[in-house]
Structure 1
Amino acid sequence: LEKPEKDINIGYDANTGRFVDMFKAGIIDPAKIARTALETAASVAGLMLTTNVLVTDLKEEDKDEEPIPGSVR
């Protein structure tokens, strides 16, 4: 494979095995967008893992049950 002359839009198309104009071929996935999406997803996952509280819908309380020690009702 030979890389064509310097052109900012030229890139390797893995489907065809050729160097093409990425914009004309419809391949528009800048690395910065993919990296930012991955960083944001990792940040949210880390936040979820370190959170000590979970908010849920509770069924109506039964008056006969003893509260769980340390719980807030």
Structure 2
Amino acid sequence: ASAAPLTQLVKNAGGSAEVVVSRVLAEAKTNQGYNVATGEYVDMIESGVLDPTKVTRSALQNASSISGLLLTTECLITNIKSDVHDHGGIPTMM
């Protein structure tokens, strides 16, 4: 799950996500990462590329909260969009 954001960024930039993610995860230095803008492996802190921890933590907390809610609920109601368009009883021209 922690590799998913990097995977998506590399795919969006047109790179090989598997190669980049495996190299970043294999790196012994914890600050080592891949700068998608330059295409280089760099020390992220020295390069000024930072991921705010609060954003990542909040996203994970919100996702787990909703997942827990869905697992404990007895009924879930959704609106299903219909392919048929209601024109108020007026026949269409086509």
Under a length normalisation based on structure 1, what TM-score does the superposition of the two structures give?
A: 0.45
Structure number with higher relative contact order (C-alpha < 8 Å, ≥ 6 residues apart): 1
Which has the higher Rg, Structure 1 or Structure 2?
1
More helix by share: 2
Under a length normalisation based on structure 2, what TM-score does the superposition of the two structures give?
A: 0.36
